[in-house]
Amino acid sequence: MTLRTIESLGQLSGKRVIVRCDLNVPLKDGEITDDGRVRASLPTIKALREQGARVVIVSHLGRPKGAPEARYSLAPVAVRLAELLGADVAFATDTVGASAQAAVAALADGEVVVLENLRFNAGETAKDDAERGAFATELSALGDVLVSDGFGVVHRKQASVFDLAGILPSAAGLLIAAELEVLDRLTEKPEAPYAVVLGGSKVSDKLGVIGHLLPRVNSLLIGGGMAYTFLAAQGHKVGASLLEADQIETVRGYLQEAERLGVKIVVPTDVVVASKFGADAEIAVTPASGIEDTTFGASGLGLDIGPETAAAFADIIRASKTVFWNGPMGVFELAPFAEGTRTVAAALTEVDGLSVVGGGDSAAAVRTLGFTDDQFGHISTGGGASLEFLEGKRLPGLEVLGWQ
Give the residue numbers of the binding site for substrate.
22-24, 37, 60-63, 119, 156
What's the rounded Cα separation, in Å, for the pair 294 and 301?
Answer: 10
Question: Are the beta carbons of 214 and 187 closer than 8 angstroms?
Answer: no
- Name the catalytic one among 290, 384, 393, 402: 384
- Name the catalytic one among 133, 223, 340, 360: 360
Any idea of the CA torsion for 306, 312, 313, 319, to the nearest 10 degrees?
160
Question: Are the beta carbons of 109 and 151 closer than 8 angstroms?
Answer: no
- Name the catalytic one among 37, 49, 54, 216: 37
Binding residue ranges? 22-24, 37, 60-63, 119, 156, 206, 302, 333, 359-362
Three-state secondary structure of the chain: CCCCEHHHHCCCCCCEEEEECCCCCCEECCEECCCHHHHHHHHHHHHHHHCCCEEEEECCCCCCCCCCCHHHCCHHHHHHHHHHHCCCEEECCCCCCHHHHHHHHCCCCCCEEECCCHHHCHHHCCCCHHHHHHHHHHHHCCCCEEEECCHHHCCCCCHHHHHHHHCCCEEECHHHHHHHHHHHHHHCCCCCCEEEEECCCCCCCCHHHHHHHCCCCCEEEECCCCHHHHHHHCCCCCCCCCCCHHHHHHHHHHHHHHHHHCCEEECCCEEEEECCCCCCCCEEEEEHHHHHHCCCHHHCEEEEECHHHHHHHHHHHHCCCEEEEECCCCCCCCHHHCHHHHHHHHHHCCCCCEEEECCHHHHHHHHHCCCCHHHCCEECCCHHHHHHHHCCCCCHHHHCCCCC
Q: What is the CA radius of gyration of the chain?
A: 22
Binding residue ranges for ATP? 206, 302, 333, 359-362
**Geometric angle at alpha carbon 191, from 187 and 192, rounded to 5°:** 110
- Kind of pairing between the strands at 16-20 and 54-58: parallel
Binding residue ranges for (2R)-3-phosphoglycerate? 37, 119, 156
- Name the catalytic one among 46, 80, 202, 264: 202
360 is catalytic: yes
**Geometric angle at alpha carbon 244, from 238 and 248, rounded to 5°:** 85
16 is catalytic: no
157 is catalytic: no
| Catalytic residue annotation | 37, 202, 360, 384
